Amino acid sequence: AVPRCKPLRHAYEKEIVLYAYFEGLDYVSTECVYAPHAYRGHARALLKDLEATRASTVAALGHSGRRLAVATDVATKTLGAC
C-alpha cells in the first residue's frame, strides 16, 4: 500500500488558486446548494475571524491536529486500494 501524500497541505487555498491560474491549470470552484445552511460555515467564519487577528492561526491548528494521538481502541476506517 502506498501512503497518501498531501503536498499542498500547508498551502492556503488562495495560494493554490493562484498557482493553478499562473500555471494555466483548469480550476473549477462551485458551491454546494446546501452550503449556506451548513454548520461548517460558522466554523469557517470563526477561523476567518481568528486568522484576521493572528495570521498563523490556521497553520497552528493544523499542526496541533496532526500531533493529536488516537487511542488504539478507536475504530478507524482502513484505506482501500486507489
Is residue 4 within 8 A of residue 80, CB to CB? The reply is no
pLDDT score, position 24 = 92
49 located within any domain: yes
72 located within any domain: no
The whole-angstrom separation of Cα 47 and Cα 51 is 6
77 DSSP assignment? P
26 located within any domain: no
14 located within any domain: no
Q: Give the count of domains, the chain.
A: 1
pLDDT score, position 74 = 66
Q: Which domain holds residue 62?
A: 33-67
42 located within any domain: yes
53 located within any domain: yes
41 located within any domain: yes
pTM: 0.43
Q: Residue 81: pLDDT band by 50, 70, 90 thresholds?
A: low
43 located within any domain: yes
